[in-house]
Amino acid sequence: MAIITPNFNFAGRCEEAFVLYQKAFDAKVGCLLRYSDANKSDWDKKLTPEQENYIYHAELFIGDQRIMMCDNMDVNFVKSTALSLTVTFDTKDEVKQAYEVLQEGSETIYQMQSTTYSSCMVVFIDKFGFRWGLMTEQTDR
C-alpha cells in the first residue's frame, strides 16, 4: 500500500517551523535529526557549523497524519499556492486557536468565516510560504 506524506522543505528555518506547527496543531514529535546526527556519507558537501545544526529529518504527527520536514540546501525555494494542506478540526474554537498561532507573518487568502460546508474556515500562506486551510467539517460547532 502506498502512503502519501507531505514533506516540507526549508532553507535553514525548519526548526522554527517545527516548533510553530507543533504548538499550532498540538502535534506530537515523531523524530528530529540534525545534520550533525546523520551519517556524513548521506550528502557530498562540506557543511558549516550552522548548517550542521540544521534539521536533516523531522516528523510531526497532526492527529494521525504524519508530516516530514527538513532543511534542504540544494534547491532555491519558490512560494507556490498551487498546493495546500487542509487541517480539519472538530470545533471553530480549535480553528481559531490554531490560526492565532500561525497568523503572524502570514498572508490571508480567505478571511475566517462560516460557509455552506463549515462553521469556520480560513485559508492563508504562512510566514514560511506554505498554503494552509483550517476548517471544521460541519456547520454547527
Q: Cβ distance 136 to 90 under 8 Å?
A: yes
- 104: which DSSP letter? T
Instruction: Take residue 3 and report the three cell numbers written for it.
Output: 502512503
Q: What is the pLDDT of residue 17?
A: 97
The rounded Cα 54 to chain-centroid distance in angstroms is: 16
What string of pLDDT tens digits covers the 141 residues of the chain? Answer: 899 999 999 999 999 999 999 999 999 999 999 999 999 888 888 899 999 999 999 999 999 999 999 999 888 877 778 899 999 999 999 999 999 999 999 999 999 999 999 999 999 999 999 999 999 998 776
pTM: 0.91
Return the exposure string of 13-51: e unless at least 16 CB atoms fall within 10 Å of the residue's CB, then b: ebbebbebbbebbebeeeebebbeeeeeeeeeeeeeeeb
Which domains can be identified in the chain, with CATH numbers? Answer: 7-71 (3.30.720), 84-136 (3.30.720.110)
Report the C-alpha gap between 82 and 90 in whole angstroms.
26
Report the C-alpha gap between 52 and 3 in whole angstroms.
30
Q: What is the pLDDT of residue 80?
A: 78
